[in-house]
Structure 1
Amino acid sequence: MNSPVRPDRPWQRPAGPAADSDFIDLKKIWHAIWSRKWGIVLLVAVVAVLTLFLLSRMTPIYKAVATVLIESKGTPVLSFQPAADTPVELSEYLQTQLSLMQSRGVAERVVRDLNLTEHPEFDLRQQPGPLVDIGGLIDTLTGEEPEPITEAEVMDYATQKFMERTSVWVEGKSQLVYLAVSMADNLTAAQATNQLAQAYIEAQLEAKVDMSMTAASWMNERLVSLRENLQASEDRLQAYLDAEGLVDLNGVGTISANELSLTGDRMIDARRQRAEAESQYRQVQSMRSQGWERLASVPAVLGHPLIQQFKADQAHARSRVEDLSRRYGNRHPAMVSARSDLNAATASLKQQVEQVVASIERNYQLAVANESSLKASFDENKDRIQDISRKEFKVRDLQREVESDRALYDTFMTRLQETTATSDLSSTNARVVDAAIPPTEPSAPNKKLILVVALFLALVLGIAQAIIREILDNTFKSSEEVESKLGLPVMGIVPQVPRKLRKEVSHLFERSGDKRFCEAVRTIRTNLLLTEASQPRQVLVITSTAPGEGKSSVSANLAFAMGQLHRVLLIDADLRRATLDKAFDFKPGTPGLVNLIGGNAKLEDCIHTVGNVDMIAAGAVPSNPLELLSSPRFAKLLEVVKGRYDRIIIDSPPSQAVSDAAVLSTLADAVIYVVKSDSTLIPHVQKGVSQLQNSNAPVTGVVLNHVDIEKAKKNGQFRGYYDHYGYSEPQTV
């Protein structure tokens, strides 16, 4: 659970909107930077000197640049060209060529052509070794001989170094490629750049020639296989023709087709004739059982010319009989002759009818036989044509196979001849536009830029360090911070004294050593007296958070200031770290507070007068200082000296180090808390004050000690106060 917030402890209050950290105080940041300006200037100066030193040690590097034009498709030299890869997009093609320019193969060619393995910048054998050769030390300790450097290692090192110093780029969307080599030797850099471009072009030419030769070799092998395939397909065609006895398949097919057509026409006629004969035959057959007279009435029989003639002869003979029968009797010779003629005509008619009927039957049988014969011939011709069609299809298939193999063989033969003819044709899509010339100015290092960047980074680092230190500096710097965070009044602000006076800081007020310091002590005395009202504060305890904050010097100088007005006794109650005897050069073994409480010395023997102030030193260092200060003898001692002095100032141990200050505060009328400016952390001070207040100590106010007045004035604190009053002559109140 959270402890309740006391109104006299503002540092325990929760931060409100006013304490929102989103607000950026630019003025405070500027003051933080300005207060540390000399540190920033020193950092920038050191960085500048180091940068200049390093720049003077750097070797100038020269960059030679050559320009190469790379076309995606070159102008044809002949009407036919050697085999090439499938064209790709221009950007992809250029990126591929850039990678080829920076390839290891091209780099090795340049190193080999220029003999860069002997150049000092690329020779592994001339490179300085490491500062500490661990491998060499191990070989020395083990007695092993170091392995000699091989030619392969020298070549590999030179190639790697050359690749690291090579750069290739394209500007914009053009097809101009820039090659650059950076070296300390400007002449060699130009030679290496030009050789790099030439090596790339030669590598491209060799690649094309190798590709053409590889294609020709492959096509030769393929051509043998295609020739075998063509020969096999021709043999299969000829074997089939021989097996089937085919010579002119087209002529045979045409004759068979014509025969089939004629046979079809004849079969149609035969079918028609058979139908007609069958019709007559059916008529005759249907009347045969009814006598020959009915047969004579059949249209097929009746229409016969002879039947008509015989039928006319019969009719004429019957007409003659009928005429004679009206004149003569049956036995009349004329009648007999006429009947004899009629019978002869009827017999002839009957005979002729039978002959016609027989002829009709024969015609029908012939028509049927003729139709059957033609149908058989048609079927035979049709089967033969189908067989010819199948053979023709097979022949066509074999011929297509032969033609396909021949076309493929001819194509490969033509392509092989073209490739063979162009295998030694030197053609490339790259050419040097501008050759590299030895540069006169080094490209690196850019000393001005490096120096400017180094100074800028140093300045930024110094400013960042100042701001970070300001942010992390959680100490008291002004009286406003003390009052807002502790809720206690500031009794005085003690300025920082010059270094030459710090050894005598306890005597400054007594000797008027520093006017500003003395004026600050008078201000503390005045503020303390003004807070007393009608009840004087006789016993005054002065403490701090930690050692080294100046509480002892404040106690001594405040005692001298009080001594101008009252009888003052200064007691050194810091039994663990006594300072009074050292500050005022008391003799070793001088009896003090420890001796008084222990009953080993008299009060008169322990009191020493310095100026207008009586002092009691700490005495011998005890083993139980807290027990001595908590003992009734110490309280009785205070009662005794209260009757003899108007003011008793006790120099107490720090509140955070031990509990002595809390014990002494219970016997005091007022407690002054000393805080060292820009040193003690705020949470530590808050904790120390809180511990005293929890012991019901009468904490009266705070003294902000060791304040850098010049720095505070630049930060906008205490402006004008010491300018007007800090140098005034000491006055008595």
Structure 2
Amino acid sequence: MNSPVRPDRPWQRPAGQATDSDFIDLKKIWHAIWSRKWGIILLVAIVGVLAAFFVSRITPIYKAVGTVLIETKGTPVLSFQMPDAPKEISEYLQTQLSLMQSRGVAQRVVRDLTLIEHPEFDLRQQPKPLINTGAIKRMFTGEEVEPPTEAELLDYATQRFMDSTSVWVEGKSQLVYLSVSMADSLTAAQATNQLAQAYIEAQLEAKVDMSMTAASWMNDRLVSLRENLQASEDRLQAYLDAEGLVDLNGVGTISANELSLTGDRMIDARRQRAEAESQYRQVESMRSQGWERLASVPAVLGHPLIQQFKADQAHARSRVEDLSRRYGDRHPAMASARSDLNAATASLRQQVEQVVASIERNYQLAVANENSLRASFDENKDRIQDISRKEFKVRDLQRQVESDRALYETFMTRLQETTATSDLSSTNARIVDSAIPPTVPAAPNVPLIMAVVLFLALILGIAQAIIREILDNTFKSSEEVESKLNLPVMGIVPQVSRKLRKDVSHLFERSGDKRFCEAVRTIRTNLLLSETGQPRQVLVITSTGPGEGKSSVSANLAFAMGQLHRVLLIDADLRRATLDKAFDFKPGTPGLVNLIGGNAKLEDCIHTVGNVDMISAGAVPSNPLELLSSPRFAKLLEVVKGRYDRIIIDSPPSQAVSDAAVLSTLADAVIYVVKSDSTLIPHVQKGVSQLQNSNAPVTGVVLNHVDIEKAKKNGQFRGYYDHYGYSEQQTV
């Protein structure tokens, strides 16, 4: 689990938590730029002078401009071809622009104006490169380098001319502007006009060549089309002769009529066959039941003869019945009547059999008739289908003949038109304005170049100032110290002049710099006012690293405290002692190392300078940390506490060694010295954090070596010292 963020350590906030640094401080940026204004001005001036020097050495280039009107493309010669999709005029103009800048047109201009001998386009007159490959080859191989050939000279001049040519269209008009840029204004105008003329001549030649090529191709194609037409006609006639066809339409019509009549007759025959089949089925179903049953069949009963014979039979039967009531069976009349009845019955039977036989014959005839008609119908249908196939083949051959004839006639017409118009010389481009020699160079644009260069130099200088400000991750003001360390600033010590720095430890004692002395008094006052109840007797002064002025602050604060109290200054920086050098103690003078080691007495180690007693570090030990953490050092502090009101200990830097953490455990207050515009903020935060992790009583921070004049320019400490009459001549 992550440890909670302590409120007294704002630098330990998570990265996602918003702080004041998340916002852009425009005032700070302006101060960063303003503080480095002379460097920015110097950079702009140097860049401006260099730019002016190089621009003055550039050869002026003149740009001659001409105008050509390009109209839309006319109807192509081979207009019978499938037309392409319509193109916008702008696309057509873009194509013409590319043609104007083509290598062929450029080469024509080079030849017409003999630019191959012009100094700007002659390969032989160009400046030699820094590394002459020909000379190197001649030096190592001894071979002479051959001069450039005519083709190489022409190729070089053409490429240079293409590079110096530009073509463009303004707006949606069809006016095309041509320009050639050269150091020779007269040649530039001539080249521009010749470029336009060369383009027009190239277009005319292309059209004539295209017409001649089209005519030649069409002649060859016409012969082929004539042969194709003849072959198509021969195939059609051969098929008609092979099939014996004369009039397919008439034959097809007759066959269709016959097929229609046969169909109608086949329908009647099918109906008759169905009726005959129905009667035949009725007779067949009754044949086994005798002729009397057959006589009752409707097909038989409806026959007129059957009805007549049935009537005769009924009459004979009625007569027999009448006579049987009057006479006996042997009576001649009865015998005659029975004979007539038998004769009538026999006739009826015979007639029934004849009718039945007739029904059978009618059925057979109906079936035969239907089959005959069906066969005839199928024969006519096959004949019509055969005629249709032949008609389709004939029409296909006819269409081929017609297509070949139409194509042949079209080519013949176009060939005649092309031959008649091949000698016309028309173009869709003409010169509107000829180029004239320019009087003002087009390049270099000196005002624009200078403006851009100076602007970029200004931007570069400002960016450099801002980047330096961003990368300058040091403390420069008391507000930064308090916001980033959450510790009060006990005082701000100004930077002193170089001539006073060698005696900086004596400044307060000798009143050498009023600003410096006033700053030390401020530290003393803030320290005394921060005491609540019990005085802070033991005061440890440390810093992040060496060279930040902690020793000079310790000495001058000791002299300031000495005006009010009995003060003892102890140099506990046993590795890099400063008191003996600052106050000219004799070499071998006993000090703190001797006291802790028991090699000297306290009275022998105390030296009085002004109103302050001092104990120097003494001989450099091999184990300084063990000496400071020993009980003898703690006992020494207890002894001197009874004799002095204030004990100021000059501690080693907190980031260099662990001595400061050990000394802070014995102190009542710890003052942390930070060198302005020098010590990195993360290093200070780490040093303070280490002391606080050791439960050191870090009381406040002293911002040392502050450049007051620079801070005033940045809007800091404005009037801080001048208000009290300290003139600027007293400091640097």
Give the alignment's TM-score, normalised by structure 2.
0.71
| Counterpart position of 2:203 | 204
Deviation sequence 1:160-180 (CA, Å, 0-9, x none): 333333222111111001112
Distance, in Å, in 1 between the alignment partners of 2:535 and 2:308 is: 193
Distance, in Å, in 2 between the alignment partners of 1:669 and 1:332 is: 186
Do the aligned partners of 2:513 and 2:731 also contact (CA within 8 Å) in 1?
Answer: no
The offset of 1:493, in angstroms, is: 0.8
The offset of 1:382, in angstroms, is: 18
The offset of 1:154, in angstroms, is: 4.3
Do the aligned partners of 1:518 and 1:730 also contact (CA within 8 Å) in 2?
Answer: no
- Aligned-partner SS, 2:349: helix
Structure 1 residues 712 and 319: alpha-carbon distance in aligned structure 2, compared to 1, 3 A threshold? closer
Structure 1 residues 114 and 619: alpha-carbon distance in aligned structure 2, compared to 1, 3 A threshold? farther
Structure 1 residues 724 and 274: alpha-carbon distance in aligned structure 2, compared to 1, 3 A threshold? closer
Aligned length: 730
The offset of 1:413, in angstroms, is: 3.9
Do the aligned partners of 1:515 and 1:728 also contact (CA within 8 Å) in 2?
Answer: no
The offset of 1:494, in angstroms, is: 0.9
- Aligned-partner SS, 2:506: helix
Greater Cα offset, 95-104 or 467-476: 467-476
Structure 1 residues 93 and 645: alpha-carbon distance in aligned structure 2, compared to 1, 3 A threshold? same
Greater Cα offset, 122-131 or 665-674: 122-131
Distance, in Å, in 2 between the alignment partners of 1:337 and 1:609 is: 202
Do the aligned partners of 1:540 and 1:671 also contact (CA within 8 Å) in 2?
Answer: yes
| Counterpart position of 1:422 | 421
Greater Cα offset, 679-688 or 368-377: 368-377
Task: Let me know the Cα RMSD of the aligned residues.
Answer: 10.0
Structure 1 residues 217 and 559: alpha-carbon distance in aligned structure 2, compared to 1, 3 A threshold? same
Greater Cα offset, 101-110 or 486-495: 101-110
Structure 1 residues 567 and 329: alpha-carbon distance in aligned structure 2, compared to 1, 3 A threshold? closer
The offset of 1:668, in angstroms, is: 2.6
| Counterpart position of 1:627 | 626
Greater Cα offset, 256-265 or 508-517: 256-265
The offset of 1:368, in angstroms, is: 27
Deviation sequence 1:636-661 (CA, Å, 0-9, x none): 44455545554432221111111011
Do the aligned partners of 1:68 and 1:433 also contact (CA within 8 Å) in 2?
Answer: yes
Distance, in Å, in 2 between the alignment partners of 1:620 and 1:707 is: 33
Do the aligned partners of 2:11 and 2:685 also contact (CA within 8 Å) in 1?
Answer: yes
Distance, in Å, in 2 between the alignment partners of 1:321 and 1:569 is: 189
Greater Cα offset, 548-557 or 268-277: 268-277
The offset of 1:708, in angstroms, is: 2.5
Deviation sequence 1:77-119 (CA, Å, 0-9, x none): 99999xxx99743122111111212222222333333333444
The offset of 1:606, in angstroms, is: 5.0
Do the aligned partners of 2:491 and 2:701 also contact (CA within 8 Å) in 1?
Answer: yes
Structure 1 residues 189 and 499: alpha-carbon distance in aligned structure 2, compared to 1, 3 A threshold? farther
Structure 1, unmatched stretches of 5+, are none
Distance, in Å, in 2 between the alignment partners of 1:649 and 1:96 is: 91
- Aligned-partner SS, 2:98: helix
Deviation sequence 1:374-398 (CA, Å, 0-9, x none): 9999999999999999999999999
Do the aligned partners of 2:496 and 2:731 also contact (CA within 8 Å) in 1?
Answer: no
Structure 1 residues 110 and 344: alpha-carbon distance in aligned structure 2, compared to 1, 3 A threshold? same
Residues 154-553 of structure 1 correspond to what in structure 2 (within 5 A)?
154-229=153-228, 408-532=407-531, 535-553=534-552
Structure 1 residues 62 and 615: alpha-carbon distance in aligned structure 2, compared to 1, 3 A threshold? farther
Structure 1 residues 728 and 225: alpha-carbon distance in aligned structure 2, compared to 1, 3 A threshold? closer
Deviation sequence 1:432-469 (CA, Å, 0-9, x none): 11111122112222222222223323333333444444
| Counterpart position of 1:42 | 42
Do the aligned partners of 1:475 and 1:679 also contact (CA within 8 Å) in 2?
Answer: yes
Greater Cα offset, 678-687 or 123-132: 123-132
- Aligned-partner SS, 2:166: strand
Structure 1 residues 67 and 222: alpha-carbon distance in aligned structure 2, compared to 1, 3 A threshold? same
Distance, in Å, in 2 between the alignment partners of 1:630 and 1:289 is: 152
Structure 1 residues 620 and 76: alpha-carbon distance in aligned structure 2, compared to 1, 3 A threshold? same
Structure 1 residues 310 and 113: alpha-carbon distance in aligned structure 2, compared to 1, 3 A threshold? same
Distance, in Å, in 2 between the alignment partners of 1:25 and 1:229 is: 90
Do the aligned partners of 1:61 and 1:183 also contact (CA within 8 Å) in 2?
Answer: yes
The offset of 1:635, in angstroms, is: 3.6
Do the aligned partners of 1:74 and 1:428 also contact (CA within 8 Å) in 2?
Answer: no
Structure 1 residues 583 and 53: alpha-carbon distance in aligned structure 2, compared to 1, 3 A threshold? farther
The offset of 1:68, in angstroms, is: 0.7
Distance, in Å, in 2 between the alignment partners of 1:86 and 1:484 is: 74
Do the aligned partners of 2:490 and 2:522 also contact (CA within 8 Å) in 1?
Answer: yes
The offset of 1:364, in angstroms, is: 30
Do the aligned partners of 1:62 and 1:185 also contact (CA within 8 Å) in 2?
Answer: yes
Distance, in Å, in 1 between the alignment partners of 2:695 and 2:320 is: 192
Distance, in Å, in 1 between the alignment partners of 2:287 and 2:509 is: 186
Structure 1 residues 186 and 324: alpha-carbon distance in aligned structure 2, compared to 1, 3 A threshold? same
Deviation sequence 1:352-390 (CA, Å, 0-9, x none): 999999999999999999999999999999999999999
Do the aligned partners of 1:509 and 1:560 also contact (CA within 8 Å) in 2?
Answer: yes
Structure 1 residues 191 and 581: alpha-carbon distance in aligned structure 2, compared to 1, 3 A threshold? farther
Q: 4+ residue stretches of structure 1 with deviation over 6 A?
A: 14-18, 75-81, 133-148, 233-404, 728-733
Greater Cα offset, 179-188 or 247-256: 247-256
The offset of 1:36, in angstroms, is: 3.2
Deviation sequence 1:208-244 (CA, Å, 0-9, x none): 1221121122112113323444555677789999999
- Aligned-partner SS, 2:423: coil
- Aligned-partner SS, 1:131: coil
Deviation sequence 1:523-553 (CA, Å, 0-9, x none): 1122223334554434322101122222122
Distance, in Å, in 2 between the alignment partners of 1:7 and 1:302 is: 135
Deviation sequence 1:653-702 (CA, Å, 0-9, x none): 11111101112222333221111223323332222122222223222221
The offset of 1:198, in angstroms, is: 1.8
Do the aligned partners of 2:71 and 2:429 also contact (CA within 8 Å) in 1?
Answer: yes
Do the aligned partners of 1:515 and 1:730 also contact (CA within 8 Å) in 2?
Answer: no
Structure 1 residues 87 and 299: alpha-carbon distance in aligned structure 2, compared to 1, 3 A threshold? closer
Distance, in Å, in 1 between the alignment partners of 2:244 and 2:678 is: 124
- Aligned-partner SS, 1:39: helix
Greater Cα offset, 297-306 or 96-105: 297-306
The offset of 1:290, in angstroms, is: 39
Do the aligned partners of 1:106 and 1:200 also contact (CA within 8 Å) in 2?
Answer: yes
Do the aligned partners of 1:271 and 1:371 also contact (CA within 8 Å) in 2?
Answer: yes
Structure 1 residues 130 and 605: alpha-carbon distance in aligned structure 2, compared to 1, 3 A threshold? farther
State percent identity of aligned pairs: 91
Deviation sequence 1:22-47 (CA, Å, 0-9, x none): 64443333333333333333333333
Deviation sequence 1:465-486 (CA, Å, 0-9, x none): 4444444444333323323333
Do the aligned partners of 1:516 and 1:726 also contact (CA within 8 Å) in 2?
Answer: no
The offset of 1:51, in angstroms, is: 2.6
Distance, in Å, in 2 between the alignment partners of 1:280 and 1:606 is: 165
The offset of 1:69, in angstroms, is: 0.3
Distance, in Å, in 1 between the alignment partners of 2:528 and 2:625 is: 30
Do the aligned partners of 1:593 and 1:617 also contact (CA within 8 Å) in 2?
Answer: yes
Greater Cα offset, 261-270 or 380-389: 261-270
Greater Cα offset, 42-51 or 511-520: 42-51
Greater Cα offset, 203-212 or 501-510: 501-510
Structure 1 residues 576 and 343: alpha-carbon distance in aligned structure 2, compared to 1, 3 A threshold? closer
Greater Cα offset, 153-162 or 90-99: 153-162
Greater Cα offset, 380-389 or 315-324: 315-324
Greater Cα offset, 236-245 or 152-161: 236-245
Higher Rg of the two aligned structures: 1
- Aligned-partner SS, 1:17: coil
Deviation sequence 1:531-584 (CA, Å, 0-9, x none): 345544343221011222221221222233233344444333223333334444
Structure 1 residues 343 and 723: alpha-carbon distance in aligned structure 2, compared to 1, 3 A threshold? closer
The offset of 1:70, in angstroms, is: 0.3
Do the aligned partners of 2:514 and 2:730 also contact (CA within 8 Å) in 1?
Answer: no
Deviation sequence 1:580-614 (CA, Å, 0-9, x none): 34444556655544444445566566555544444
Structure 1 residues 286 and 563: alpha-carbon distance in aligned structure 2, compared to 1, 3 A threshold? closer
Structure 1 residues 227 and 672: alpha-carbon distance in aligned structure 2, compared to 1, 3 A threshold? same
Structure 1 residues 138 and 571: alpha-carbon distance in aligned structure 2, compared to 1, 3 A threshold? farther
Deviation sequence 1:137-185 (CA, Å, 0-9, x none): 7996788887865555544443333333322211111100111222233
Do the aligned partners of 2:629 and 2:662 also contact (CA within 8 Å) in 1?
Answer: yes
